[in-house]
Amino acid sequence: MLSILKREITSFFASATGPLALVLFLLINGLVLWVFQGSFNVFDYGFSDLSAFFMVAPFVFLILIPALTMKSFSEERKLGTLELLLMKPLPAWKLVLGKLLGVITLGIIALIPTLVYVWCISALGTEAGNFDLGLVFGAYSGMILLLLAYTSIGVFSSSLTENQIVAFLFAVIICLFMYLGFEAISGLFSDGIIALFLENLGAMAHYERMGRGILDTRDVVYLLSISFFFGFLTVIQLNRRA
């Protein structure tokens, strides 16, 4: 499993597309938060907090994570190396876990430079350093869990086809539905109980609660459940090819 993890990270930095994806992630967030005028601009927002960043990041991840995961198994299938991997004395779940950890590590690497935003917001406050770090911790925890869920969906999509573009589109559609789909469907119901139930089936409600610094085990379990579910589906898909 560690060899798979190391291989994923090495192959990521060996090509130009890998570092370019990280640069684009930071560039898009930086431009939206600090340069482009609008409701997400920190200076236009009028409050010294990172709410805008935590609102924008899930949508940037909708493109970044599928771009990172689209070749996880698609490339292996296209090159014919997937069968060789499955023939090794390595359980399919360890192969999937190695792929997942590789992409998650890269996602966390992309998040590390954004900690500069925390320092900037803290310095911009009426009193320097007067900043709710508990809220930031909860929001980053939610972002990492959402990153894990997106990654699991992306790896599953990659196991379905050898075409990387198709795998990318599958991942974007599923991630978008899991994040916004149930929220949109809930708006079709006037009954508050049904609407709230449907809303809580989506990732957006759980992520936003964590983004407000509310660490509820139900939100953590929900996001982890998505990750385990799609990871399990990936293992089933690989065992069918073994």
166 pLDDT band, cuts 50/70/90, is very high
Neighbour-count burial of 70, counting CB atoms closer than 10 A to its CB (0-12 exposed, 13-18 middle, 19+ buried): buried
Query: How far apart, in whole angstroms, are the C-alpha atoms of residue 5 and residue 94?
Result: 10
Note the pLDDT of residue 187: 82
Note the pLDDT of residue 42: 66
CB-based contact 77:162 (threshold 8 Å): yes
Query: How far apart, in whole angstroms, are the C-alpha atoms of residue 136 and residue 158?
Result: 32
Q: Determine the distance from the C-alpha atom of residue 85 to the mean position of all C-alpha atoms in its chain, rounded to a whole number.
A: 26
Measured at the CA of 85, the angle between CA 84 and CA 91, to 5 degrees, comes to 135
- pLDDT tens column, 53-99: 788 888 888 988 998 888 888 887 777 777 777 777 778 888 889 88
Backbone region of residue 120 per phi and psi (left: phi > 0; alpha: psi in -120 to 50; beta: other values): alpha
Residues 6 or more apart from 57 whose CB is under 8 A from it?
29, 143
Query: How far apart, in whole angstroms, are the C-alpha atoms of residue 200 and residue 218?
Result: 10
- What phi and psi, each to the nearest 5 degrees, are found at residue 125? -65, 165
- Stretch (H or E) spanning 151: helix 133-160
Domains in the chain: boundaries: 2-241
Please state the rounded mean pLDDT for residues 96-118: 86
Query: How far apart, in whole angstroms, are the C-alpha atoms of residue 141 and residue 157?
Result: 25
pTM for the full predicted model: 0.87
SS3 36: coil
**Arithmetic mean of pLDDT over the chain:** 82
Whether pLDDT at 129 is above 70: no
- Nearest Cα to Cα of residue 42 among 116, 131, 124: 124
Note the pLDDT of residue 177: 94
